[in-house]
Structure formats: structure tokens, C-alpha cells
């Protein structure tokens, strides 16, 4: 799984290289949504582990 | 002279049957409203005055010969400019498609024509239906009919303005996260999002095919039902009526938590008053919480972003400057999504759909406010809600998008106004497969709320 912080850094670097500064704050908002999504209780894990209970408000 | 433009389909079909008016006169009245109001409100991208008058005269001729296609025969209706009408451009509210002319009617357009409707033009929208305010349009922002400094909502903003002001008697919109219900609620009209798949979306520029719905905006629940029936290809008989059940003993699930925690104070007051009216009419109100409510936006976002990015990627590369800046930025954001997150969201959509269906088990409908805030001011990126601040886009979509994920039929109707005369909407949602009972219930609620 790509870590959200690493994904965000790569995505921000990409839009910056393409001169799309306006997209950066949107990506930061999307990162918050993806943290919530990844912490959702329906996600299966290959090793059988359960995702930890999510604190959705904190993850936003 | 009777202001025919301000009437309902129900009233107009009676007047037409009695010979009190003609389709030509009604159409002229709508076209006069467009000429008078559109320069300020910007509800229409294209007006087809000559073709509409020609169609109206043909409808009158057919009526005189006893050939009445349906309850919509001779009724002026507008189409959101996301929907193909042969020979006209379908701009999707974007300069990207400013010259794209449809070669064929979308199925919904063909069905309206078969029902005898008179098509008066194509309405303005949030560019590519990708926003809930209708301010980012390649053809200029649409303006709220009560306060032009405010947004009419979106993305079907022009359609809601047209119905509210009588520029057309009804309009056809689309709804991917609330784009029929949000502008209908903010403008004080009825908006109905059918169950996903009920009404064909072919010939409609997509935002997210798995979440897109096509449906009517109208002045009343009965009018919305008549248009919906036509969109489904079932020609409603000229005198067809919807029957309202008694509300006594009807079980309604009142959505709490996520759906009530962050409502504007005036919206909360009107919503509470509407619920009280339904309770006094005999409805049994039961609190309902959806355990995955707080994840719904996080599920919605990757789906709509991913689907929209796939559709727009090539055009974004070639003509980025032809998009409005905000829509371009959101589409570019979608291109950064990972496939693994898209798949998590696909799974989440199914989980949420099942949870909503379980909440409807044994209940006629779920009830909430349609939007947490009244019409926001144009250009404001955030709205104040309960002492906090929230992005305008997130706030407007918050209460409607769950039922695009769930694909249930959902309707909004006016439930009151703020002190500034800004409308507030009440949303009713039924289980999949329960559209007719939902519309009958909505009619009963509409009557109860009208006192």
C-alpha cells in the first residue's frame, strides 16, 4: 500500500512541475478523504488483520 | 390575462382540455419570461424560440384533431444542456463543447417529444455538471431567482431557475451527487432523482456513469411524477393523477447524526417544523443513524474524480485553457488517484448501499433536510455552519450524495423559507424498487406541508 504522505508528496510534485499550483490544496483535501477511506471497516487485509477502529474526525 | 407561465402541468392540461388556452399561448408566455429574466439570471445557454412555437402550434393542431399524446402534450419543458437534442449543441456548460452539435436525440429527449412536450431550450449548469453552485460555467454564472447575488445551486442550476420563474413549466436535470435536488431545494421547487438505471442516461454527457441519474425538476410532486413517467417511456394519460395516501401510521426514518449535526440554524428550524407537521398528520417518526455516514464523502470523491478524470484526460491535455479554472483543477486532482483507492471506494459504495437499504427495511422513507444551508453567495468558497466553516461544495453535497452511492430514489420538496425568503428543502428517500410509493408519499407530505 502506498503511504498517503508519500502519495501526496509525489502528486504535489507532479502538479507543481506542470504549473498547476491550484491543485495542491485540493490534493491535501483528497489526502484527508483517502485516510478516512483506507481506515474504513470494510477494507480486507491479505494477512487477515483487521483495520484499527477509525477516528474519522481526526483523519479528515 | 392568466400568467400561464406560472402554472403547473396539472392546471395547464385542464386549461388546455377546456380550451381556455393553447400551447402556443403558454409557450409564448414562457418565451417572454426567458426574454425578460434570462439576461439577469443566465438560466439558458440556448433558447429555441422558433422551433418551440412551431412545436406548440403542431401540438394545438393535434389536440384539435383529438390526438393528445399524453399529460405533457403541449407543455413547455427545458433540458439541461448536458442532454442531447438533435440539431442543437450540447455544451455541458463548457467552452470545450461550445460547438458540439448533437446528431440524435438522447432517449429522454425522444421520449419527451413522443409525449408531446414542447422543448424551449437548453439550460445553464455547472461546467460538465462538476459542481453544486452553477457559478463555474463556460457561459457565465447562473444567478438565484430570489437574490441574484446568490447561487441557485447546481449543477442543474439553470433548470431550477427556469421552473421557479416560469421560463419553462418543468425541466430535465441530472444528479450525480445531488445536482437535481440541490438546486431544486435552493430555488424552492420539486426535484426528483429516480432510482439509478430507471431513466436512460445515454445521450447525456457523463460525469460518473455509475452515479449519474436523469430526472425532473417541476413545481409540484404530481408534475414531477408526470414528467418522470414520460422519461421512463410510459406515456401518462392526459388526465393521469397520483394518489396521496394517509400519513397516519406511516413509518419514516428521520436521519440523525451526520444528517443533523451541522445544519444552518434557520434550516434546522424549518426542518424541525416540517417534521412536526408530518408527525401531527399521523406519521410515525423514528430516529435513524447510518454508521458509515461519516465515510460517505470519502467514498464518493474517488469514484466521481476517477470517472471524470478518465473521461476528460485527453481533452485536458489538449485544451486545458478551455475549462474553467476550478473544474480544471478538480479534474487534474482526479488524475492523481491510485487504482487501489478507487477499488476501496467501489467496495464502500456497495457497503453504504446495503446499509441504506437496511435502514429502509419496514419504513416508507428516510427523511432529512436536502441541503444544510440555504443558497450561498456566489464566489464564496466556504459557508458558515454552526459556528464553523465548511467548503461550500462539501456542504451542499453532504446530505444528497449518500443516495447517489446507494442509488435509491430521492425527492426534494419545499419545506419553508428563511427570513431572507431563501427556500429550504425536505428530502425523502425510499428503498430501491419503491419509486411509486415514494412519489405518493411525497404528494401526501406536500399537501401536509401546504397546510
> What pLDDT shows up at residue B2?
57
Average pLDDT over residues B305-320: 97
In this structure, the strands spanning B118-123 and B251-255 are unpaired
Cα–Cα distance, B59 to B414 (Å, whole number): 32
Distance to chain B for A17, nearest Cα, Å: 13
Tens digit of each residue's pLDDT (9 = 90 or more) over B61-92: 999 999 999 999 999 999 999 999 999 999 99
Cα–Cα distance, B27 to A49 (Å, whole number): 65
Contacts of B346 (CB under 8 A, 6+ apart): B303
Residue B163 and residue B170 in contact, taking contact as beta carbons nearer than 8 Å: yes
- pTM for the whole thing? 0.97
> What pLDDT shows up at residue A45?
85
Residue B413 and residue B192 in contact, taking contact as beta carbons nearer than 8 Å: no
The dihedral through the CA atoms of B225, B231, B233, B236 has a sign that is: positive
The percent of residues above 90 in pLDDT, for chain A, comes to: 68
> What pLDDT shows up at residue A60?
55
Tens digit of each residue's pLDDT (9 = 90 or more) over B99-130: 999 999 999 999 999 999 999 999 999 999 99
Cα–Cα distance, A58 to B219 (Å, whole number): 42
**pLDDT-based confidence at B38, cuts 50/70/90?**
very high
In this structure, the strands spanning B365-369 and B388-391 are unpaired
Tell me whether residues B302 and A14 touch, CB distance under 8 A: no
Average pLDDT over residues B256-262: 95
Tens digit of each residue's pLDDT (9 = 90 or more) over A30-57: 999 999 999 999 998 888 877 666 665 5
Tell me whether residues B298 and A26 touch, CB distance under 8 A: no
Distance to chain A for B335, nearest Cα, Å: 9
Tell whether B180 lies on the interface with A, counting CB pairs under 8 A.
no
Average pLDDT over residues B15-30: 97
**Bridge partner list, B382:** B391
> What pLDDT shows up at residue B262?
94
Tell me whether residues A23 and B332 touch, CB distance under 8 A: yes
Cα–Cα distance, B304 to B360 (Å, whole number): 25
Q: What are phi and psi of B220, to 5 degrees?
A: -140, 165
Alpha carbon of residue B289 to chain centroid: 25
* Residues of B with catalytic function: 80, 155, 179
Residue B93 burial by CB count (10 A; 0-12/13-18/19+): exposed, middle or buried?
buried
pLDDT at A59 over 70: no
Tell me whether residues A23 and B297 touch, CB distance under 8 A: no
Q: How far is CA B189 from CA B47, B145, B166, B218, in A?
A: 22, 12, 11, 6
Cα–Cα distance, B246 to B65 (Å, whole number): 40
Tell whether B302 lies on the interface with A, counting CB pairs under 8 A.
yes
Q: Which residues of B touch A7 (CB under 8 A)?
A: 336, 338
Tens digit of each residue's pLDDT (9 = 90 or more) over B264-276: 999 999 999 999 9
DSSP at A6: H
> What pLDDT shows up at residue B1?
47
pLDDT at B18 over 80: yes
Residue B268: closest CA among B278, B256, B280, B279: B256
Average pLDDT over residues B29-41: 98
Q: How far is CA B102 from CA A43, B45, B142, B203, B215, in A?
A: 43, 15, 23, 9, 20
The percent of residues above 90 in pLDDT, for chain B, comes to: 98
Amino acid at each position: 500500500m502506498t503511504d498517503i504522505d508519500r502519495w501526496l508528496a509525489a502528486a504535489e510534485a507532479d502538479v507543481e512541475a506542470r504549473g498547476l499550483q491550484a491543485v495542491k490544496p485540493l490534493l491535501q483535501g483528497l489526502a484527508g478523504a483517502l485516510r478516512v477511506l483506507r481506515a474504513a471497516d470494510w477494507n480486507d487485509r491479505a494477512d487477515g488483520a483487521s483495520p484499527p477502529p477509525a477516528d474519522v474526525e481526526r483523519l479528515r | 390575462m392568466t400568467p400561464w407561465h406560472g402554472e403547473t402541468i396539472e392546471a395547464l392540461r385542464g386549461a388546455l382540455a377546456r380550451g381556455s388556452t393553447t400551447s402556443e399561448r403558454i409557450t409564448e408566455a414562457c418565451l417572454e419570461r426567458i426574454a425578460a429574466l434570462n439576461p439577469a439570471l443566465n438560466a439558458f445557454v440556448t433558447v429555441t424560440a422558433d422551433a418551440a412555437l412551431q412545436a406548440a402550434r403542431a401540438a394545438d393542431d393535434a389536440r384539435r384533431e383529438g390526438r393528445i399524446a399524453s399529460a405533457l402534450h403541449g407543455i413547455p419543458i427545458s433540458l439541461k444542456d448536458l442532454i442531447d437534442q438533435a440539431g442543437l449543441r450540447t455544451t455541458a456548460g463548457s467552452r470545450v463543447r461550445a460547438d458540439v452539435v448533437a446528431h440524435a436525440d438522447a432517449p429522454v429527449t425522444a421520449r419527451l417529444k413522443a409525449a408531446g412536450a414542447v422543448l424551449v431550450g437548453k439550460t445553464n449548469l455547472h461546467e460538465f455538471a462538476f459542481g453544486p453552485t452553477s457559478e463555474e460555467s463556460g457561459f457565465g454564472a447562473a444567478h438565484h431567482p430570489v437574490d441574484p447575488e446568490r447561487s441557485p445551486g447546481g449543477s442543474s442550476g439553470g433548470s431550477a431557475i427556469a421552473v421557479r420563474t416560469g421560463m419553462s413549466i418543468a425541466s430535465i436535470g441530472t444528479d450525480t451527487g445531488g445536482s437535481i435536488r440541490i438546486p431544486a431545494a435552493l430555488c424552492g421547487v420539486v426535484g426528483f432523482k429516480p432510482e439509478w438505471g430507471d431513466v436512460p442516461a445515454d445521450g447525456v454527457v457523463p460525469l460518473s456513469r455509475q452515479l449519474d441519474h436523469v430526472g425532473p425538476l417541476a413545481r409540484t410532486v404530481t408534475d414531477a411524477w408526470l414528467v418522470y413517467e414520460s422519461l421512463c417511456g410510459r406515456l401518462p394519460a392526459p388526465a393521469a393523477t397520483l394518489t396521496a395516501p394517509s400519513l397516519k401510521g406511516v413509518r419514516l426514518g428521520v436521519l440523525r447524526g451526520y444528517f443533523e449535526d451541522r445544519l444552518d440554524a434557520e434550516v434546522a428550524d424549518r426542518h424541525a417544523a416540517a417534521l412536526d407537521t408530518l408527525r401531527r398528520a399521523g406519521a410515525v417518526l423514528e430516529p435513524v443513524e447510518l454508521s458509515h455516514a461519516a465515510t460517505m464523502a470519502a467514498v464518493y470523491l474517488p469514484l466521481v474524480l476517477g470517472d471524470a478524470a478518465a473521461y476528460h484526460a485527453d481533452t485536458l491535455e489538449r485544451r486545458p485553457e478551455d475549462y474553467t479554472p476550478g473544474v480544471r483543477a478538480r479534474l487534474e486532482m482526479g488524475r492523481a488517484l491510485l487504482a487501489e483507492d478507487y477499488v476501496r471506494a467501489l467496495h464502500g459504495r456497495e457497503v453504504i448501499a446495503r446499509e441504506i437499504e437496511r435502514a429502509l427495511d419496514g419504513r416508507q422513507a428516510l427523511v432529512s433536510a436536502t441541503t444544510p444551508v440555504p443558497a450561498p453567495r456566489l464566489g464564496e468558497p466556504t459557508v458558515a455552519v454552526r459556528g464553523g466553516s465548511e467548503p461550500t461544495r462539501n456542504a451542499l453535497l453532504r446530505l444528497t450524495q449518500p443516495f447517489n452511492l446507494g442509488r435509491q430514489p430521492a425527492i426534494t420538496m419545499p419545506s419553508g423559507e428563511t427570513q431572507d425568503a431563501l427556500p429550504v428543502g425536505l428530502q425523502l428517500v425510499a428503498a430501491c424498487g419503491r419509486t411509486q410509493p415514494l412519489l405518493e408519499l411525497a404528494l401526501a407530505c406536500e399537501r401536509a406541508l401546504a397546510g
